[in-house]
Amino acid sequence: MKKILIIDDEIELLQSMKFSLEAEGFSVAVCSDCRLASEQACTLNPDLIITDLMMPFLSGYEVILALREAEETKAIPILLMSSVIPAAKQKHFGWNAFLRKPFDNGALLQAVRALLT
């Protein structure tokens, strides 16, 4: 079973995504505090990380940089999601795909499957 870690400060969205992905057979952990995301990712060793771009305390860019610096998480695919198009370049931060909010379950599952195959 593939493991996914979702990082977002919107609790309702976290729960909705968790429910949808678990219904498709994935094991899903959530993290609503981006300051703990890197530590949680190192502990869980997920197959995929999904993170929001705009969060309090740390941006998605900062979370991605921390994940890319850690030996345990540097190779894990990252799906960045946001309601705005990222201003930074993908190659500078290292996310693997982008999903624009709002999205439906079909778009989420398509993006997840593409990164896990």
Domain CATH number, residue 87: 3.40.50.2300
Kindly give the residue spans of alpha helices, DSSP state H, lying in the chain.
11-23, 37-44, 60-69, 90-93, 105-116
Nearest to 8 by CA among 46, 63, 48: 63
User: What residue has token string 């190192």?
Assistant: 42
Secondary structure class of 4 (helix, strand, coil): strand
Phi, psi of 22 (to 5 degrees): -65, -35
pTM: 0.93
Residue 34 token pair: 């981006």
Q: Which domain holds residue 47?
A: 3-116
Is 80 exceeded by the pLDDT of residue 91?
A: no
Q: What is the pLDDT of residues 29-87, one digit of tens each?
A: 999 988 888 899 999 999 999 999 988 887 888 899 999 999 999 999 999 999 888 77
**pLDDT given for residue 90 in this prediction:** 67
Question: How many domains does the chain divide into?
Answer: 1
